[in-house]
Amino acid sequence: MELKDVQSLPDHRQIEIDKVGIKGIRYPISVLDRKKGVQHTVAVINMYVDLPHHFKGTHMSRFIEILNEYRHEIHIKKILRILQEMRERLCAKVAHLEISFPFFLEKEAPVSGALALMEYGCKIYGSLGEDFRDLILEVCVPVMTVCPCSKEISARGAHNQRGLVRVKVRFKKFVWIEELIEIVEKCGSSPVYPLLKRPDEKFVTEWAYDHPMFVEDVVREVCKRLLEHPEITWFVVEAENFESIHAHNAYAYIERHKS
């Protein structure tokens, strides 16, 4: 018996849908790693296409089929190919893909050399239409900041806090996740480490105290370095400090298009 394809039936309301698809599917993927070649991780993936007004629904199973076919090659160099496959298989004009995943780097403590894995939150946004393509890489990097004002006015010490710097970039050819992490970690009072022994803690505390930074300083420093990067064409940088002595967070944001 032939089963009825309800999704392909006409819809009388004549209303196009901008995005329809699947959200929040957890899936193992492989991402490019500058040191190891490939890193295996688990992503949360959203996949959407537009839906013409004359179709009742989209075929949700086709998103999973495409995802399964590319599961060993879901990294930034293959996103446009996956998006094109979505457009073709789902008869869509525009396809969208969002991939959120943890990226791990082995990080060395500054004095003891103790090694441990550090997690960084990453996201890839991709869109592809008949006459446009868009690809954005996002990286979230924790940093430590010491308040310059607190240091200036206090006789003993200064308040410090952990902050989060989020960077989104568009680029010409290719940008390593590790590159963006390195840029951001140079722009706080100190990087954040997954493992510190006592000599490391002393070093980090004193180093940060000697390099106080407002959130304004952090975003300006990151902005300066991103403007100098030859492959980056557009970026957003935002910093949020989880304040240790205030009941609010401090925040700063910069967006730039490079000619």
What 3-state class would DSSP assign to 81?
Answer: helix
Give pLDDT, residue 173.
87
pLDDT tens sequence across 45-99: 999 999 876 666 677 888 999 988 887 777 777 899 999 999 999 989 999 999 9
Give pLDDT, residue 71.
74
Which of the residue ranges 15-29, 57-71, 180-194 would you say has the lowest mean pLDDT? 57-71
Mean pLDDT over 140-164 rounds to 95
Comparing 258 with 225, which gets the higher pLDDT? 225
Q: Which fold, 12-131?
A: Urate Oxidase (3.10.270)
- Supply the Cα-derived Rg of the chain in whole angstroms: 22
Whether pLDDT at 133 is above 80: yes
pTM of the model: 0.90
**Where are the domain boundaries for CATH 3.10.270.10 in the chain?**
12-131, 137-259
Give pLDDT, residue 11.
59
CB atoms within 10 A of CB 220: 16
In the structure, what pLDDT confidence band is assigned to residue 119 with cuts at 50, 70 and 90? very high
Q: What is the mean pLDDT of the chain?
A: 91
Residues in CB range of 48: below 8 A, 6 or more apart: 19, 20, 21, 22, 95, 96, 97
In the structure, what pLDDT confidence band is assigned to residue 101 with cuts at 50, 70 and 90? very high
Q: CA-to-CA distance for 230 and 11, rounded, in angstroms? A: 49
CB atoms within 10 A of CB 11: 14
pLDDT tens sequence across 163-181: 999 999 999 988 999 999 9
Q: For residue 43, which of 75, 82, 20, 66 has the smallest C-alpha distance?
A: 75
Q: Which residues of 87-125 are buried (b: 16+ CB within 10 A; e: fewer)?
A: bebbebebbbbbbbbebebebebbeeebeeebebebbbb
Share of the chain above pLDDT 90, in %: 77
In the structure, what pLDDT confidence band is assigned to residue 200 with cuts at 50, 70 and 90? very high
Q: Tell me which CATH homologous superfamily contains domain 137-259.
A: Urate Oxidase; (3.10.270.10)
